A and B are shown apart, each in its own frame.
Chain A
Amino acid sequence: MAKTETGPAPKVTRSPENGAPTTPPPLFETLSGIPVQPLYTPADIAPGLEERLGKPGQFPFTRGLHPEMYRARVWTMRQFAGFGTAEHTNQRFHYLLAQGMTGLSTAFDMPTLMGYDPDHAMSFGEVGREGVAVSSLEDMEILFRGIPLDQVTTSMTINAPAVVLLAMYVAVAEKQGIPPEKLGGTIQADMLKEFIAQKEWICPPRPSVKICVDMIEWCAKHMPKWNSISISGYHIREAGATAVQELAFTIADGIGYVEECRKRGMDVDEFAPRLSFFWDVHNDFFEEIAKFRAGRRIWAKLMKDRFQAKNPRSWQLRTHAQTAGVSLTAQQPLNNVARVAIQALAAVLGGTQSLHTNSMDETLALPTEEAATVALRTQQIIAHETGVTNVVDPFAGSYYLESLTDRVEEEAMAYIKRIDEMGGIIQAVERGFPQKEIADSAYRFQMQVERGQRTIVGVNRFGGDEEVSIPVLKIDPEIERRQIERVRSVRAKRDAGKYETAMVALRDACMSDKNLVPFVLDAVRAYATLGEISDVFREAYGVYREPAVF
């Protein structure tokens, strides 16, 4: 495979006369290392294009999931937000909704993501920094105060303790008088990509996947409008994967979840319509569009042919997308506005269902309100000023794009085949296969940048001496102290009897094959904290430690 070259570090080439570094010739290849010709003609398209494309809204969905795409409804503009305490983030949510945002998306802080209460030693210095701190149902009630949960859709980016946050969301809705079947939204709950890339875990891979499958199963019965998982390529890409690797490892994760659900005796059409995906949108404009199209085609074929799904909704790869945080630069941060706009356009031309555009200041800190607003306005400009929403899949038939879509599909499928041969994605992850491939790609890219073969404007070319300074969001260290006080007061004032009963039942359930969701739901209703519930998982299943390889 072209892009998996390993071995010693590339060396800087030097002039034989004076030993000065020389600039190597430009790379005519995509970010995945696919060679690119100067010109594409009909000869570059393999026969059978019409069959590979299908009609929009029809198998294999290469051209998009809906016959009219954005003419009927533009994508959901869903900006990820969260910082400080629940009060701070609740205010930001109200602000963003007032600016025309159409769906909520919650970012949690590191202790919450890792299943620690704010007063745990591991939480020291991290409370409220990268997202909002949610330690108990009380925080969740404040987070969604004044937001009727049957009228918005909410995405929650949480994985290892996802079942706790799902339960809290359901419990907050209960208090608003809204039953779970009326709740729309997404919980990320994709643990496989955590072991591959994002590295936020509690327990080892197998029990972690078991809990993900518990959620898929419970949501299929009780939350018909809820996406019980967001199978994510985003973090895989940000960790250094190429577009092809992002596509391949993510689809392989999807296959892994489908297989685990089937082992439990679930019918594929029971849960597959609520599986959702999440792509990164990077700088290589055409390759990104090709990735979205190839992804839909691969998934549709897998679901129909390999897993024998009958419901056309089971064949559809529905996706959220986010512009590539890793492509943004701390140098000349205003340039990031341009990068984000171009990436967002690729996601739209690729047919995304929802989109987050990054703020220009995200390499420096969480976004300020002003930067977050510019990011949202960028989407509104694409949706309402450029005219790209008028035509479905406008690049279809382009000699280059169709040839690239085929090539991306082919290379991703080659990886998927290798993973199948290893015994599936769980085994591949336990062997560290995707992890190593990603680290190698990250290193290869960095060396290309350092040799000058890849240009990053404002970093290795066109750099200015003048420092551009933009305002940066500051997180008050006082937040940590306040969050610790709040969680301690929750523990002190809750009904101790109810809490004990729920926790004993949860411990017992962890020792059985039972679906854990109802037990976690009872525990959060009794105001058990996120850290306490995660401790039950730690005791029952053990704590994961990654082998430190590079």
Chain B
Amino acid sequence: MARKIRVLVAKAGLDGHDRGAKVVASAMRDGGFEVIYTGLHQTPEMIVQAAVQEDVDAVALSILSGAHMTLFPRVLELMKEKGIGDVLLTGGGIIPKEDMAALKQIGVGELFGPGTTTGAIIEYIKNSARAGTGTAR
């Protein structure tokens, strides 16, 4: 039997807006993923450590505080350092289009803004996460 896709839903930095992260986590769980939620106020180091320990197929980072241009690159850099550079890093929040494009350039996956359906996020992770395709992104 195929292993369930394991996703780490993470909240980085000081941002306390967890409505979206929790809704997405619930939808992923009901959509058949194994979901690990970090809780609030995690540093990039804590998030990457959790991703390694939990052997996840994707990290989904939620940032609504405007700090995405510092936090996404930092998490990505640490993932590479810790040998999980093949794990999908995706996420969502209040992220302007041009910032999304810049983050994609450095290797971050699709980023989702307000109005996205949970179905679209689940579909994307199914197709792009490590376990979903059997290969690295």
Contact = CB atoms under 8 A, between A and B. Distances in A.
A114 B14 contact: yes
Given A125-B71, A126-B13, A110 B19 contact: no
Contacts of B96: 364-365, 472
B84 to A, nearest CB: 21
B118 A450 contact: yes
A378 to B, nearest CB: 21
Interface stretch (A116-124, A310-318, A413-421, A483-491): A116-124
B119 A450 contact: yes
A110 B39 contact: no
Interface stretch (B22-30, B53-61, B128-136): B22-30
B108 interface: no
A30 interface: no
A130 B65 contact: yes
Interface in A321-353: 326, 329-331
B115 A329 contact: yes
Interface in A1-20: 8-9
Given A9-B27, A365-B66, A546-B39, A110 B13 contact: yes
A152 B39 CA distance: 40
Nearest to A445: B23
B103 interface: no
Contact of B39 (A111, A475, A548): A548
SS class of chain A's interface: helix, strand, loop or mixed?
A: loop
A385 to B, nearest CB: 31
Q: How many B residues are at the interface, by size bracket?
A: 35 or more
B94 interface: yes
A199 interface: yes
A443 B119 contact: no
A321 B16 CA distance: 21
A483 to B, nearest CB: 14
A439 B22 CA distance: 7
A522 interface: no
B66 A126 contact: yes
B37 A550 contact: yes
A113 B30 contact: no
B37 A125 contact: no
A467 B108 CA distance: 23
Nearest to B35: A550
A459 interface: yes
Given A123-B14, A124-B70, A363-B94, A446 B118 contact: yes
Contacts of B113: 330
A111 B16 contact: no
Nearest to B42: A548
B14 A443 contact: no
A198 B43 CA distance: 19
18 contacts: A113-B14, A122-B43, A126-B14, A199-B40, A239-B18, A329-B114, A331-B115, A364-B94, A439-B26, A446-B23, A446-B118, A450-B118, A459-B115, A475-B66, A547-B39, A548-B39, A550-B22, A550-B29
Given A450-B117, A450-B119, A545-B39, 19 more contacts: A110-B13, A113-B14, A121-B43, A124-B13, A124-B67, A124-B70, A125-B67, A126-B14, A126-B15, A126-B66, A130-B66, A239-B18, A239-B19, A329-B115, A442-B23, A443-B22, A548-B39, A550-B21, A550-B25
